[in-house]
Structure 1
């Protein structure tokens, strides 16, 4: 669909924002990462600026099921297909339902996502377990998610297609530990330079690692705007947005 330029507006709000558009990402990450120098999982973020203005669902992967099985992901196959909605094309040619990763994190409810999103979530779960152990000495057993597929424009930017339209995004709300403790974005995200509590440090670390290590193209947190006050939005759009910093 036709898009109205809002790059200047977004840049003023978020200095680290790259050139924006809507679309999906493919697995172009090379595994390089910022951070503490320890071994990092390979990323799936799209780092090629040449395709930022391409709008549309992701291309299917020929090796989708084999790649998911190799990662130890528990998943089921699903069908979504492509649908025309007014001036938008929604859906995806290839989706799966993500149940649980090799890191032992179950998704509630199970998440219908594109294949690359499922693979990226598996890598993210490994990062989240590392940070949970560091912050709490505990493991995450469950993530509550608010939604994946929804054929719509971005709520804050009419005329721009949301990655949710392709099941190429997910909104993460709560992380539950093995002792029953629930870490909530709404209750525990801390915008201070140095979060005072373990919950705030945990949420800060997993969101920034998700972006800095190229696991996802776009990571939006309460730092980005009020629409994300209660969840992290992560996706594999063709463009990049760092919404993890104030």
Structure 2
């Protein structure tokens, strides 16, 4: 099976359990997800690297679903989909969420809560602007995200730091981001609101250590190589795989997904497209 097919299938839950996406029990901190956040949808193991050194041909999610006959993912109306995604975040207690976030050691500023999205379907229910994560990582630029996504950072950063020490010899102190909140639809699918539009996604482009080692997704991610030859490539491959299985996120998209993600890892905690 081609890697983009497998990766796309990972982004779609065909079972009722995975598709439910309701708020679950509060999550534990630092490595086991923190309290106050909705659960990320269940996910399968990560895709294996592809056979091509070039990014795969870019097909939108909508085009892929049509090709595979996944009509359940296409049938939901734009309004119903947007409402379902918004309520997944808005149902949590924003004040409690931020109290739990403080306990992680993250440095952030709270934004005013929103009861509903704007006329475009955009906005962040319980927003924060986060400059430093729970393990001391500085985000450049700062993350404008929902508090529930911020509460997933302990598990995300745990994976990143463990693999950085293993492959780069020291922890990560800085992550270069390509964006977080952005009012837009899913690329190639205007009927579906992007997780970026509700502050439920972030893009990571490069990872830097205190000693000056910088692992860039664009430059150092080795396409089509099962076992990368260079330490930076091994680090990127390792965090990509582990975040699928251990990070408290629903989707991790990167160079193996399509050309639009050749230069970054996209992480989000949205509900599955399949209802």
| TM range, smaller chain | 0.7 to 0.9
Query: What is the CA-CA distance between 1:240 and the residue it aligns to?
Result: 7.8
Please name the residue that 1:69 is paired with.
Answer: 102
Query: What is the CA-CA distance between 1:119 and the residue it aligns to?
Result: 1.2
Report the secondary structure of 1:138's partner residue. Answer: coil
Please name the residue that 1:122 is paired with.
Answer: 154
Please name the residue that 2:31 is paired with.
Answer: 41
Rate the CA distance shift 1:117–1:201 in 2: closer, same or farther, 3 A. same
Relative to total residues, which structure has the larger helix share, 1 or 2?
Answer: 2
The runs of 4+ residues in structure 1 deviating greater than 4 Å are 10-13, 24-31
Report the secondary structure of 2:121's partner residue. Answer: strand
Query: What is the CA-CA distance between 1:232 and the residue it aligns to?
Result: 0.5
Query: What is the CA-CA distance between 1:159 and the residue it aligns to?
Result: 1.6
Task: Tell me the distance in 2 between the aligned counterparts of 1:189 and 1:29.
Answer: 35
Task: Tell me the distance in 1 between the aligned counterparts of 2:7 and 2:173.
Answer: 35
Report the secondary structure of 1:176's partner residue. Answer: strand
Query: What is the CA-CA distance between 1:102 and the residue it aligns to?
Result: 2.9
Task: Tell me the distance in 2 between the aligned counterparts of 1:12 and 1:132.
Answer: 27
Task: Tell me the distance in 1 between the aligned counterparts of 2:257 and 2:26.
Answer: 24
TM-score, structure 2 as length reference: 0.70
What are the superposed Cα offsets for residues 106-132 of structure 1, whole Å, 9 maximum, x if unpaired?
Answer: 111111111111111232112211110
TM-score, structure 1 as length reference: 0.78
What are the superposed Cα offsets for residues 122-153 of structure 1, whole Å, 9 maximum, x if unpaired?
Answer: 32112211110000111111001111111111
Task: Tell me the distance in 2 between the aligned counterparts of 1:66 and 1:170.
Answer: 22
- Residues 219 and 234, structure 1, Cα contact 8 Å, conserved in 2: yes
Report the secondary structure of 2:226's partner residue. Answer: coil
- Name structure 1 gaps, 5 residues minimum: 1-9, 32-39, 242-246
Please name the residue that 2:219 is paired with.
Answer: 187
Rate the CA distance shift 1:205–1:16 in 2: closer, same or farther, 3 A. same
Within a 5 Å distance, the mapping from 1:12-161 to structure 2 comes to 14-19=8-13, 41-43=31-33, 44-47=39-42, 54-56=84-86, 58-59=89-90, 60-61=92-93, 62-79=95-112, 81=114, 82-85=116-119, 88-161=120-193
Rate the CA distance shift 1:13–1:218 in 2: closer, same or farther, 3 A. closer
Task: Tell me the distance in 1 between the aligned counterparts of 2:214 and 2:26.
Answer: 31
- Higher Cα radius of gyration: 2
Task: Tell me the distance in 2 between the aligned counterparts of 1:197 and 1:42.
Answer: 30
Count of aligned positions: 218
Task: Tell me the distance in 1 between the aligned counterparts of 2:179 and 2:269.
Answer: 15
- Residues 28 and 47, structure 1, Cα contact 8 Å, conserved in 2: no
Query: What is the CA-CA distance between 1:180 and the residue it aligns to?
Result: 1.3
Please name the residue that 1:4 is paired with.
Answer: none
- Name structure 2 gaps, 5 residues minimum: 34-38, 44-75
What are the superposed Cα offsets for residues 33-81 of structure 1, whole Å, 9 maximum, x if unpaired?
Answer: xxxxxxx811452239xxx953325124341122012211111112373
* RMSD, aligned α-carbons: 3.0
Query: What is the CA-CA distance between 1:11 and the residue it aligns to?
Result: 5.6
